[in-house]
Amino acid sequence: MILDDKSPVLSEPLTLREAGYPDGETEYRLADHFSRGGRVVVAISSDTIGTGDEEHGADLLSAFLQGLSERKTLPDEILIYHRGVRILSDGHPLFDQVRRLRMRDVTVKACAESLDFYKIKPAEWTIQPVSMMEITQSLMKADRVIRP
């Protein structure tokens, strides 16, 4: 079953007896799939998703970021490093999606070493250049890491 923001969630417990098991006493409750607590971090290490055709990989990353920006539940942080910092340059087709996430108060951090290596200055001042050590710390503190 695929759940989304509009999927119904059972509010009453379901016992095994109700499910057709006459001796069942165990209660199960469907959990809201967005109720998982904890810190969620998205780690982006490239300007594409996957290997192979770069144009298709860029389209996939675009779809991922657009879908992410339209969710009711957002990540706490987006960490961008290595080739991923290329999406932060002014005029990059994916930058508007990153900006949209920033406008929804998602923290975006970019690896300063990668920005220097690719000679990129983030197109928006609210994107925080940080060391790889800080990116590592954010990843270690996360309860869940999403890596497209």
Domain ranges of the chain: 9-33, 40-146
Separation CA 44–CA 136 (nearest Å): 13
pLDDT confidence tier of residue 103, bands split at 50, 70 and 90: very high
Q: Distances in Å between the alpha carbon of 124 and those of 10, 24, 70, 91, 121? A: 43, 58, 20, 11, 9
Q: What 8-state DSSP symbol labels residue 36? A: -
Which residue is associated with the tokens 């790889």? Answer: 132
- Residue 18's Cβ-side half-sphere holds a number of Cα atoms within 13 Å equal to 8
Does the structure show a pLDDT above 70 at 29? no
Q: Are 34 and 73 in contact (CB under 8 A)?
A: yes
Q: Supply φ then ψ for residue 104, to 5 degrees.
A: -95, 20
Q: Are 79 and 109 in contact (CB under 8 A)?
A: yes
Task: Give me the amino acid identity at 121.
Answer: K
Which residue is associated with the tokens 């949209």? Answer: 100
Buried b (16+ CB within 10 A) or exposed e, 91-115: ebebbebbbebbeeebbbbbbbbbb
Query: pLDDT tens digit string along 134-146?
Result: 999 999 999 999 9
Between 33 and 49, name the one with better pLDDT: 49
Please state which of the four CATH numbers 3.40.50.1220, 3.30.750.24, 3.40.1260.10, 1.20.1440.230 is assigned to the domain occupying 40-146.
3.40.1260.10
Q: Are 11 and 25 in contact (CB under 8 A)?
A: no
Does the structure show a pLDDT above 70 at 112? yes
Residue 81 buriedness (CB in 10 A; 0-12 / 13-18 / 19+): buried
pLDDT in the model for residue 119: 96
